[in-house]
Amino acid sequence: MPSAANLTRAVAEHRSATVELADHAIHLDLTGAPDSTQSTFTSTSTITLVSSESSVEIDLVAVGEPQVELDGERARATYADSRVRVEGLTPGREHTVTITAQCVYGHTGEGLHRYHDPEDGETYLYTHFEPTDARRVFACFDQPDLKAPFRISVSAPTGWLVRSNAEAEHSASEGAVTTTDFAPTLPISTYIVCVIAGPYHLVEDEWVSDDGRRVPLSLMCRPAMASRLPSADLLRWTKAGLPWCEERFGREYPWGKYEQIFVPEYNIGAMENPGLVTFNERYLKRGDATRSEREALANTLLHEMAHMWFGDLVTMPWWDDLWLKESFADFIGTQASEEVTEFADAWVTFGLGRKMWAYSADQLPTTHPIVADIPDVEAARANFDGITYAKGASVLRQLVAYVGEDAFYAGVSAYFADHAFANASLTDFLTALSTASGRDMSAWAEAWLRTAGPDTLSVEGGELVRESLDWSADEPPAAPAARPHRLQVTSFSVTDDGWTPLDSEWIDVTDARTPLPNTGAVTLVDDHDWTYARIVPDAATFDALTGHLAALEPTNSRAVAWGQLWHACRDAHLPTQTFCRTVLAHIPAERSPAVVDGVCLKYVTAVTAYLPTTMRTEWGDALWHVARDAYTTALDGDLYDAFAQPTARLDLALAWRRVLTWAAGIAPTAQHEVRAMLDGPDGLFHPDADERWALLVSRAAHAGEHEVDDVRAELARELERDTTKRGIAQAIAVRAALATPQAKLTAWERTDDESLTNEEVASLVAGLTHPASVHCAQSVDLQARYLDSLERWWNGRSQVIASKLARGLFGVVTDAGAAQAWLDAHVEAPGALRRIVVEEVDQLRRAERARENASAAASV
């Protein structure tokens, strides 16, 4: 099987300049899918095109030689390096190229993924193509700017549910085989073509617009997960989101039906295939979903809905402008969540979660501008990162503050009107926005979109001092672009009785120094989190935050404050134990599940990465005790009179219950209680299936040599209880997490096992590098094996799997110098692989600085 070639921007630009597509028909014969001995399926792709050259190169990943016809006759064609070169075209004349090939069923979430379900013995199929995996399923020009109408036809076992982007036009059965022909799509890119097939569970409904348009709705999942499908929530959010998007974007939903399916072993959260959105099945909880988990699902649903316009209706020409879909979808998903769902604090969740992901990515040596330079597809895959998603969304929120909401959405509406079903770039969007706002947006775009790294806004002597730096430049520019910031500043009088607001003002930061109101008061800069910058409070504000944070109102102000403390901890300006002490002092009084989740996750990171090893037991155990008390308190409604509604108390209790599962991983002395919960029913709570696996992994990681046999016996019982593929994958994590050198060496041997699914690889990695037992992996010098394996993984596995291994297993590395030596000796290694190692080396050195700071503070 040839390797998937790394498509370059230069090749894509040449093809888009020389090829015009008229139509693309695809037939997939999936009748053999239930037979696990059949590794391939037959794919027939018929492309109607006009070329200005006598030959074309068409992308395809297949086994054996494909059959190629040109206008119904056998073509002169060669197949090599994932491309079919077809000769003999007449420039300027319309031709039909038909390519029939044997393509491979996938098990790593790329191309056409095949899932054999051990629970019901059935087979389930789904496709995932972003950015260039459509070529694994059919011959095509696998780039975003060669759009075409797609006519899909699928032959599958009779009785299966088969869906694609468009409505089914015709279906005919012949014995055990049914062939379904779908209507032509509107012009779309290859990466959002979608097919699902299998005996999926189906829920149907419809949305009726105010003007009487009917949009068919459906929800799908495996039957085994049907009882976990929150149909009422999903349909309510969908029916609220569609009219919101239509009104804001000034354009009706264009794709006819709106279907959503949850699929197993998915590599990402969800994918915006028009008319048929795919979601990761892990959104369907095998127990009680926390409020944060439900909010994450609503946000993802609305994120993908935004893509129906941003990305699907108007598409970037190449992956340089990936932000034109992902930044906008992240922004819209959060804004819509706040306005049309029950999650009115969606921006709080964003600020403590995804925005922190952005700051982390933006402080790496590999950071890049939001509008990035993407020379090839490997670089494109690497740029689905915190900058493209969350920094871009943060900057768009700042843009709304800068130009006003009305002007922003007027520009968006004009952008869609001008470029519907076509491709558009940054220049096109800025033109529409400039016209709508009456402002020249070029300087704003240069400052915010074409430079990298976060600004730093520091409170010094009654002024706000701005420092800007283009982190992506080899040398800092002499005059870095000055980003304008529009933000809120609130000043307070802080006493033991609480925080008294003195003043709240919008200010525009356009100079290096900006006077602040109420000099001398405690000042919260960027209250309500409108801009994107690292905020460094003054000493008085730091003291107020660490001493009185629980009393700060409202919730979004507390979230901003927690974020500023976390920045200081990560940057080694605030000792890690001071951050942890502040969490333990104030988080028990927190009534926002979003804040509990966001802050406690950071606490876990602080303990495992930013504290010396000798301090981790003390602080890990401390979180367990605080979470246990907070959980039982949250269940006691009498102590939470403000939470008169039982659902609010339950939301908070579930949040603390989830924190307990995290704390179990870092709390050695809690393991007797963990075992009691697994043995049940007399433990702290009765864990659901996924919680049981998380707790069992923690048990394994903390187990001493004398407990290994006990853990293995518990694992055997758990596998009898949970016979799902998810359970089988989690068992790999338990075995790999065992705190013995032999367990780590045995697990390491499986890193080269290509039969593992993507979910099994993720579990293997998580177990090997569990923070409570990774020292065992380090003690047998897996660092050397890791460095020796990097290029072999990259050259022999898909980029998705190789990336999981390269990034996930970096935890076995203890010496940043050794990893840097590998980089120095492998300057010709693939850029995307080097980027992973560079980033992980930087994170390791950041952690070392924080640990040194913590040690110094402890010795004072």
Q: Give per-residue pLDDT as tens, 197-217.
A: 999 999 999 999 999 999 999
Q: Which helix (H) or strand (E) holds 818?
A: helix 816-825
Q: Write out the two tokens for 62.
A: 């297949």
Closest to 420 measured CA to CA, from 629, 246, 188:
188
Q: Which residue has the tokens 């597509």?
A: 21
User: Which residues have C-beta within 8 Å of that of residue 803, sequence separation ≥ 6?
Assistant: 381, 382, 832, 836
**For position 481, what pLDDT does the model report?**
60
Alpha helices by DSSP H, listed for 450-535, are none
Residues 749-800: tens digit of each pLDDT = 999 999 999 999 999 999 999 999 999 999 898 999 999 999 999 999 999 9
Residues 528-571: tens digit of each pLDDT = 999 999 999 999 999 999 999 999 999 999 999 999 999 999 99
Cβ–Cβ < 8 Å for 308, 274: yes
User: In angstroms, rounded to a whole number, what is the distance separating the alpha carbons of residues 556 and 576?
Assistant: 23
Closest to 142 measured CA to CA, from 151, 155, 129, 159:
129
**For position 471, what pLDDT does the model report?**
57
Q: Over range 645-657, report the average pLDDT.
A: 86
Whether residue 643 is predicted with pLDDT greater than 50 in this model: the reply is no
Cβ–Cβ < 8 Å for 207, 217: yes
Q: Is 534 left (phi over 0), alpha (psi -120 to 50) or beta?
A: beta
Whether residue 694 is predicted with pLDDT greater than 90 in this model: the reply is yes
Q: Which residues pair with 188 in a beta bridge?
A: 148
Closest to 302 measured CA to CA, from 361, 351, 233:
233
**For position 473, what pLDDT does the model report?**
54
Confidence label for 683 from pLDDT (cuts 50, 70 and 90) = confident
Question: Computed from CA positions of residues 588, 594, 595, 601, in that sequence, does the dihedral angle turn out positive or negative?
Answer: positive
Taking the whole predicted model, whether its pTM rises above 0.75 is answered as yes
User: In angstroms, rounded to a whole number, what is the distance separating the alpha carbons of residues 100 and 295?
Assistant: 44
- Three-state SS across 771-782? CCCHHHHHHCCH
**For position 283, what pLDDT does the model report?**
98
CA angle 156-63-374, nearest 5°?
Answer: 100
Whether residue 371 is predicted with pLDDT greater than 50 in this model: the reply is yes
Cβ atoms < 10 Å from Cβ of 758: 21
Cβ–Cβ < 8 Å for 846, 799: no
User: In angstroms, rounded to a whole number, what is the distance separating the alpha carbons of residues 67 and 81?
Assistant: 16
Residues 479-489: tens digit of each pLDDT = 456 899 999 99
Q: Over range 426-451, report the average pLDDT.
A: 95
Whether residue 442 is predicted with pLDDT greater than 80 in this model: the reply is yes
Half-sphere exposure of 557 (CA within 13 A, CB side): 21
Q: Three-state DSSP class for 467?
A: strand
Q: What is the dihedral of CA 433, 438, 444, 450, to 10 degrees?
A: 40
CA angle 280-284-289, nearest 5°?
Answer: 130
User: In angstroms, rounded to a whole number, what is the distance separating the alpha carbons of residues 564 and 525?
Assistant: 10
Confidence label for 646 from pLDDT (cuts 50, 70 and 90) = low
User: In angstroms, rounded to a whole number, what is the distance separating the alpha carbons of residues 350 and 347?
Assistant: 5
Residues 74-84: tens digit of each pLDDT = 999 999 999 99
Confidence label for 645 from pLDDT (cuts 50, 70 and 90) = low
Cβ atoms < 10 Å from Cβ of 249: 21
Half-sphere exposure of 358 (CA within 13 A, CB side): 28
**Phi and psi for 199 in degrees, rounded to 5?**
-80, 60
**For position 1, what pLDDT does the model report?**
36
Q: Over range 443-455, report the average pLDDT.
A: 94
Q: Over range 673-696, report the average pLDDT.
A: 92
Cβ–Cβ < 8 Å for 569, 576: yes
Quick check: is 304 catalytic? Answer: yes
**For position 518, what pLDDT does the model report?**
79
User: Distance of CA 300 to CAs 15, 146, 277, 329, 541, Å?
Assistant: 34, 27, 11, 9, 35
Helices 671-679 and 689-702: crossing angle in degrees, nearest 10, is 140
Closest to 134 measured CA to CA, from 142, 126, 145:
142
Q: Which residues pair with 456 in a beta bridge?
A: 467, 534
DSSP designation for 227: G
Q: Is 8 left (phi over 0), alpha (psi -120 to 50) or beta?
A: beta
User: In angstroms, rounded to a whole number, what is the distance separating the alpha carbons of residues 262 and 254?
Assistant: 22
Q: Which residue has the tokens 């019901």?
A: 120
Residues 31-54: tens digit of each pLDDT = 999 999 999 999 999 999 999 999
User: In angstroms, rounded to a whole number, what is the distance separating the alpha carbons of residues 424 and 568?
Assistant: 40
User: Distance of CA 440 to CAs 432, 435, 468, 481, Å?
Assistant: 11, 8, 22, 16
Cβ–Cβ < 8 Å for 698, 673: no
**Phi and psi for 74 in degrees, rounded to 5?**
-60, 130
Cβ–Cβ < 8 Å for 274, 185: yes
Pairing of strands 150-157, 19-29: parallel
**Sequence-separated contacts (24+) of 843-847 with Cβ below 8 Å:** 843/364, 844/810, 844/813, 844/816, 844/819, 845/816, 846/570, 846/572, 847/609, 847/610
Which range is least confidently modeled, 283-297, 356-370, 479-493, 792-806?
Answer: 479-493
User: Which residues have C-beta within 8 Å of that of residue 467, sequence separation ≥ 6?
Assistant: 455, 456, 457, 458
Q: Write out the two tokens for 118.
A: 């051990």
Q: Is 488 left (phi over 0), alpha (psi -120 to 50) or beta?
A: beta
Whether residue 2 is predicted with pLDDT greater than 80 in this model: the reply is no
Q: Three-state DSSP class for 805?
A: helix
Q: Write out the two tokens for 161.
A: 């549910």
Q: Can you list the domains of the chain with their CATH numbers?
A: 9-199 (2.60.40.1730)
User: In angstroms, rounded to a whole number, what is the distance separating the alpha carbons of residues 56 and 91?
Assistant: 11
Amino acid at 214: R
Question: Computed from CA positions of residues 358, 429, 347, 272, in that sequence, does the dihedral angle turn out positive or negative?
Answer: negative
DSSP designation for 105: P
Q: Write out the two tokens for 750.
A: 């499986």
Q: What percent of the chain has pLDDT over 90?
A: 93
- Three-state SS across 646-669? HHHHHHHHHHHHHHHHHHCCCCHH
Cβ–Cβ < 8 Å for 291, 655: yes
Which range is least confidently modeled, 9-13, 148-152, 607-611, 640-644?
Answer: 640-644
Residues 379-410: tens digit of each pLDDT = 999 999 999 999 999 999 999 999 999 999 99
Q: Three-state DSSP class for 852?
A: helix
Range picked from 87-96, 496-505, 511-520 for highest mean pLDDT: 87-96
Higher pLDDT, 478 or 843: 843
Instruction: List, edge to edge, every strand of the sheet that includes 40-51.
Output: 73-74, 63-70, 94-104, 40-51, 19-29, 150-157, 177-182, 168-174
The residue annotated as part of the active site, out of 304, 590, 718, 759, is 304
DSSP designation for 39: -
Q: Which residues pair with 278 in a beta bridge?
A: 261, 271
Average pLDDT across the chain, whole number: 95
Q: Over range 798-810, report the average pLDDT.
A: 96
Q: Write out the two tokens for 181.
A: 């022909």
Q: Which residues pair with 206 in a beta bridge?
A: 216
